[in-house]
Amino acid sequence: MSLDAMASSGGTSWLGNGGGSQSQPPGGANGSQAPASNGARGPPPGGEISWSRGGRQFSSSREVYTRGLYRVCLKFTTSEDEDEGKPEPATAYWTVYGKRTTIGNGVPNSSRPDDICRRMDDSMSGPCAGIMEWLTDDDGEQAALYALRAGMTCGWHIRGDRGDAAIRVGKAKVYSKQGPDGSPLKEARLLTLDAERWALTEGASFAAGNSVFSVEDVGEKEQKLTVHCSKGPLRNKTIEIPARRCPYVFGRAHEADLCIMDRELSRKHGVILYVRPQGRKSGVFVLADLESTNGSYMRLTGPYSLKGTGALTIGDEFIVGRTGFSVNRFDCGISEAIGARPTMEDRTIVIQNLMYPPPDYYYDGSPKETLTELAFTTFAAVFDGHGGDECSNYLVDALPRHIRNQ
């Protein structure tokens, strides 16, 4: 099944009718203003940009500012610039609505400077390895269909024209239960809204640890997926995955369906699922991450190089080369001091958005259209212990859950 077919299917499990918010680039590290990138697409005369297909919160600059995500904070999750003798890299980069942001190894004084420059990341193919920009009505209906499948999209998307960019896929959990004949059966549950968007269609490519896999064939009639490993410990190996073996777990563990001896993989790192979208007879293979340390990433190449497929949600993570980023509404930190007391009785919490219920922050099946406001609501609090931690321990979990349910 192609991405076009999935995006145009009517089932709500594949295409929601709500959206997040729109925005766009430059800002500098720690909030300072950065120079506009070469060829940056600026706002039209009057500074007005709209993406009416995305919903009310994208319909005008004012709506984006008041209802959506006018600024985006990209926090570094990994960095190849942390060499000995080099200054500590910035921990965050602010980009603002109205311009695109480029990520690469183009130094400031070069002919193609990047807004976010990572000179030591040799895995990047050069300047403009990744481009983060906002979605507008000019991008067309198909781009909107792709973008609205990205959870509660914040109106921004990432792309890498040379295959440098990839987005961390949705989370899942695999568990065992007893079958009718008493034998153990594996089942899986998706934990992220619209995690089914990361379908393994022909030409798709995904990365986990040091390994890169590409989809060679999807046999809908045979219900079989064929992937080829082009990089990593299993290089040049072809793996066939029949639907009956799904959920198909890969990782370092010997008991995994596909054992990959890679130090950057978790024991049970990721999983390939076979799911049937609502209203369709045939199923699709979907890539999901088992809450691993380093993540499983769908590369934005092939079918995922189309505009809108790299749409981002608050909390999403993506990589360009080997440099990782998380998408945040705020850049914040927490500092704690016990003082004279023997134990820490206070509790702190920062939730970038309340889309998922605490304490696990897993998708609970709520209708997508009910999550729009929650996706752009942030909760931060300090709970004072005052002679014990019972009250603060209770409130740090109960209060955000209560507010979310109102």
Measured CA to CA, the distance from residue 139 to residue 253 in angstroms comes to: 44
Q: How many CB atoms lie within 10 A of CB 322?
A: 15
Identify the pLDDT of residue 62: 82
Please answer whether residues 123 and 321 qualify as being in contact, where contact means their C-beta atoms are separated by less than 8 angstroms: yes
Q: What is the pLDDT of residue 282?
A: 80
* pLDDT per residue rounded down to tens, the chain (406 residues): 566 655 555 433 332 333 333 333 333 333 333 333 333 344 444 456 788 888 888 888 888 877 777 888 999 887 654 444 454 456 788 887 767 899 999 999 999 999 999 888 889 999 999 999 988 888 999 999 999 988 888 889 999 989 999 999 999 999 988 777 777 888 999 999 999 999 999 999 999 999 999 999 999 888 999 999 999 999 999 999 999 999 999 999 999 999 999 999 999 999 999 998 777 778 899 999 999 999 999 999 999 999 999 999 999 999 999 999 999 988 888 888 887 778 888 999 999 889 998 888 999 888 888 888 888 889 999 998 877 889 999 999 999 999 988 7
Would you state the pLDDT for residue 144? 93
Spatial CA neighbour of 133 closest among 186, 176, 184, 72: 72
pLDDT digits (tens, 9 = 90+) for 3-13: 665 555 543 33
pTM equals 0.84
325 neighbors 349 (Cβ within 8 angstroms) = no
Q: What is the pLDDT of residues 59-91, one digit of tens each?
A: 888 888 777 778 889 998 876 544 444 544 567
Left, alpha or beta for 251 (phi > 0: left; psi -120 to 50: alpha)? Answer: left
β-bridge partners, 351: 379
Closest CA to 327 of 353, 350, 364: 353
Q: What is the reported pLDDT for 26?
A: 30
Amino acid letter for position 199: A
